[in-house]
Structure 1
Amino acid sequence: MIDVTETGREVLRTEAAALTALAEAMPAGFEGVVTLIAESQGRCIVTGIGKSGHIARKIAATLASTGTPALFVHPAEASHGDMGMIGAQDVVLMISNSGEAPELRDVIAHTRRFSVPLIGLSSRPESTLMRAADHHLTIPALPEACGLGVVPTTSTTLTLGLGDALAVALLRRRGFRAEDFGVLHPGGKLGAQMARVESLMHKNLPAVAPDTPMSEVLLAMTSAGFGIAVVVEDERLAGIITDGDLRRNMEGLVEKRAMDVATTSPLTVPPGMLAARALALLNQHKRNVTVVCDGDRPYGILHLHDLLRAGVA
Structure 2
Amino acid sequence: MTTHLITAQEVLTVEIEGLQAILEQLTDSETPFSTAFNHALSLIENATGRVIVTGMGKSGHIAKKIAATFASTGEAASFVHPGEASHGDLGMISQDDIVIALSNSGETPELRDVIAYCGRFDIPLIAITSGVKSDLAEAADAVLLLPPVREACEETRAPTTSTTMSLAIGDALAVALLRSKGFTASDFRNFHPGGKLGAALRKVGHFMHGPEVLPLCQHDTPIEKAVQQVSAGGFGCVGVVAPDGELLGIITDGDLRRHFNDSLENKVAADIMTANPKTVTPETLAADALAILSQKRITALFVTRDGKPVGLLHIHDCLSIGVI
TM-score by length of 2: 0.89
Partner of 1:282: 293
Report % sequence identity. 51
Q: 2:230 aligns with which of 221, 235, 239?
A: 221
Aligned length: 312
Unaligned runs of 5+ in 1: none
Does 1:306 pair with 2:317?
A: yes
Query: How far apart, CA to CA, are the structure 1 residues paired with 2:209 and 2:146?
Result: 53
Query: How far apart, CA to CA, are the structure 2 residues paired with 1:256 and 1:10?
Result: 70
Q: For residue 254 of structure 1, report the CA deviation from its aligned partner.
A: 4.6
1:42-66 CA deviation, whole Å, 9 max, x = no partner?
A: 2211001111100101111122222
Partner of 1:62: 69
Does 1:8 pair with 2:8?
A: yes
Higher mean C-alpha displacement, 49-58 vs 213-222:
213-222
When residues 267 and 81 of structure 1 are mapped into structure 2, their CA distance, relative to the original with a 3 A threshold, is same
Higher mean C-alpha displacement, 91-100 vs 8-17:
8-17
Q: Counterparts in 2 of 1:227-246, with a 5 A limit?
A: 227-232=236-241, 233-246=243-256
Kept in 1: contact 2:17–2:149 (CA 8 A): no
Does 1:294 pair with 2:305?
A: yes
Q: For residue 68 of structure 1, report the CA deviation from its aligned partner.
A: 2.8
Query: How far apart, CA to CA, are the structure 2 residues paired with 1:41 and 1:245?
Result: 59
Partner of 2:43: 36
When residues 234 and 106 of structure 1 are mapped into structure 2, their CA distance, relative to the original with a 3 A threshold, is same
Partner of 1:146: 153
Q: For residue 299 of structure 1, report the CA deviation from its aligned partner.
A: 0.6
1:2-51 CA deviation, whole Å, 9 max, x = no partner?
A: 93322222222222112212222352411110111122222211001111
RMSD: 2.0
Kept in 2: contact 1:217–1:258 (CA 8 A): yes
Kept in 1: contact 2:200–2:287 (CA 8 A): yes
Kept in 2: contact 1:99–1:122 (CA 8 A): yes
Does 1:111 pair with 2:118?
A: yes
Partner of 2:20: 20
Query: How far apart, CA to CA, are the structure 2 residues paired with 1:119 and 1:3?
Result: 40
Kept in 1: contact 2:115–2:136 (CA 8 A): yes
Partner of 1:247: 257
1:236-282 CA deviation, whole Å, 9 max, x = no partner?
A: 22332212232344434354333333333222111111111112222
